């Protein structure tokens, strides 16, 4: 029996801070739950400035302290991602605006979701802010939010896999 994998894409501005961290955290959660056969996870950036580069060294260092290895290479989001991925998670309203502006229909638009909507442990957080121009505290804060959101997202996806409810 062939398993129909859920395909998840995480998107931020340059694909070197938030989205590769979300990709790495989500892969770690999936692996820890022995659910690798059920998911495919990737990340992309809106801009092409960092294509081919590893994630920002500061985000890699923050991740390593928590046991993550963020080693994906940056790529730019393309319109074909709408056809390939089931869900596209963005980090802030500007990401949402830029990605949804590329949609061609309502089905594509419905795939674009705010990752911060899955945050439960941090009150009143609506976005995962870009830490790029910040310091180590900003990177750790972004990673705290990403971990929280990805944990809750995984629960929502697993619940969805067992029912017909939308995530």
The residue annotated as part of the active site, out of 17, 18, 60, 148, is: 18
The residue annotated as part of the active site, out of 12, 17, 62, 150, is: 12
Give yes or no: 97 in active site. Answer: no
What is the full DSSP assignment across 1-56?
-----EEEEEEESSSSSHHHHHHHHHHHHHHHTT-GGGEEEEEEESSSTTTTPPPP
Give yes or no: 17 in active site. Answer: no
The residue annotated as part of the active site, out of 56, 81, 92, 130, is: 130
Give yes or no: 92 in active site. Answer: no
What is the full DSSP assignment across 112-161?
EEEGGGG--SSTT-------TTS-HHHHHHHHHHHHHHHHHHHHHHHHHH
Q: Which residues are catalytic?
A: 12, 18, 130
């Amino acid at each position: 029996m062939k398993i129909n994998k859920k395909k998840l894409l995480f998107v931020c501005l340059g694909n070197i801070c938030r989205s590769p961290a979300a990709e790495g955290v989500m892969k770690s959660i999936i692996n820890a739950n022995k659910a690798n056969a059920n998911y495919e996870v990737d990340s992309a950036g809106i801009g092409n400035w960092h294509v081919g580069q590893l994630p920002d060294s500061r985000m890699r260092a923050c991740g390593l302290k928590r046991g993550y290895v963020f080693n994906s290479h940056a790529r730019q989001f393309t319109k074909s991602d709408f056809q390939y991925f089931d869900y596209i998670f963005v980090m802030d309203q500007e990401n949402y605006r830029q990605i949804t502006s590329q949609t061609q229909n309502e089905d594509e638009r419905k795939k674009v979701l705010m990752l911060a909507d899955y945050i439960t442990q941090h009150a009143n957080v609506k976005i995962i802010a870009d830490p790029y121009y910040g310091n180590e505290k900003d990177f750790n804060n972004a990673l705290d939010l990403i971990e929280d959101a990805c944990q809750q997202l995984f629960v929502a996806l697993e619940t969805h896999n067992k029912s017909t409810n939308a995530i």
